[in-house]
Amino acid sequence: MTSSTSPFGEPKIEQLIVDTNAIVNGTTLQRTAKEFYTCPEIINEVRSAHSREYLSRLPFEIQVEDPTEEAMKAVVEFSKKTGDFASLSLPDLKVLALTYTFEARANGVNGIRKEPVRARPTGNLPSAPPPKQKSVPAVEDTVDDDGWETATNKKKGRHYHNNNKKKSQQQKKKEEDDDDSDVGEWITPDNIEEYKATELGVTPEELKKPKNLTVACMTSDFAMQNVLLQMNMNLVSTGGHRITKVKNWILRCHACFAVTSNMEKKFCPKCGNASLQRVSCSTNSQGQVTYYLKKNYQYNLRGTKYDIPKPQGGRQVNNIVLREDQREYVKANQNKGKKGVLDMFDPDFIPLAGKPGIDDRFVGNNMFGTDVIGFGRRNPNASRRGGRRK
């Protein structure tokens, strides 16, 4: 079914794929698109009474459809290349794949990117510039006529000089702010379109010019937005929140500061430590990569204060894995290749269901069959209560 005609004009989108957050937030959808689609997993995620009532009161029907297998495969491979696969759930991937399906039907796959637009980040991050040395004025010692030398507190004189300098800077800044406040321009109905265009990064002419979209996706999930923009598919956000810059993810070692674009790595390829952390980066038109690090970031040392436990034998024991060439890690990778990878998109797949023929060790916190990569967060020497004994 199509949405009713709005007094504000015809909808600008032919087919809109809706994510869960658009339904939970109660987004006004009537004058957004002509047809609305979603996948069955999204409807199942809507459980609150308020959201259910919102769905029942819509003057149109949100049609439910499943994406194609080709679309699912393309979205999964692309999200792994951008580094967003770990942040996307199965319903998120299906919404992206459904957008891919409709885009391929309407405009073909030639306009959809197969590779992310980015420069490959390799090597080390640029080191921080050396701290600037502050010049401290020398305090002259006064000598009396009697031959005795008077001691002067240099620390007190330095603080006195710094306080006077700060006061003068604050006074100067206050005067500049007063001048700027007199020159500032008010937002009026005449120039509000210019301010809107400036915030969105477009010209006022482009803002006024209507742009009709054939297929678009509405979501406020930033990982999904990043994949949509990089795949060159149309994005409509709930409440105007949209990513304006193409962002990628890399892995940065906190020990040696080396970076790698292989998001499947668990250990640093340079120093071998399990200290890789996900860091966002962006690429400009010249191909220069900018890394965005947290200010005053403190590395979490939880778990490193405990003694490393003795390795234990047995099939059900998961020893702590600290290096990539460790026997448990290598064996888990070999067994993973023999057993095969669990297919999350299999219609018969049920997480943690204990299907026959599947080793339960491979349904864990990671794909390698071990519970912990690195030191972990708990005391590995503490005794834990076992299962129920008969």
Annotated binding-site residues for Zn(2+) read 253, 256, 268, 271
Nearby residues of 263 by Cβ (< 8 Å), 6 or more positions away: 80, 83, 85, 86, 249, 250, 251, 278
Tokens read off for 353: 């269901």
Tokens read off for 217: 């996706």
**CA distances, 103 to each of 8, 40, 79, 81, 233 (Å):** 26, 19, 17, 21, 8
Q: What is the DSSP letter of 203?
A: -
Where is the binding site, in residues?
A: 253, 256, 268, 271
**CA distances, 77 to each of 82, 210, 262, 368 (Å):** 9, 34, 13, 19
Please state, in angstroms and rounded to a whole number, the distance separating the CA atoms of residues 207 and 374. Answer: 51
Helical (H) or strand (E) element with 218: strand 213-218
Q: What is the DSSP letter of 384?
A: -
Please state, in angstroms and rounded to a whole number, the distance separating the CA atoms of residues 153 and 232. Answer: 66
Q: Are 220 and 21 in contact (CB under 8 A)?
A: yes
Q: Give 267: exposed, middle or buried? Use CB within 10 Å, 0-12, 13-18, 19+.
A: buried
Helices (H) and strands (E) in the chain, counts: 10, 10
Going by C-alpha positions, the residue among 74, 64, 59 that lies closest to residue 29 is: 59
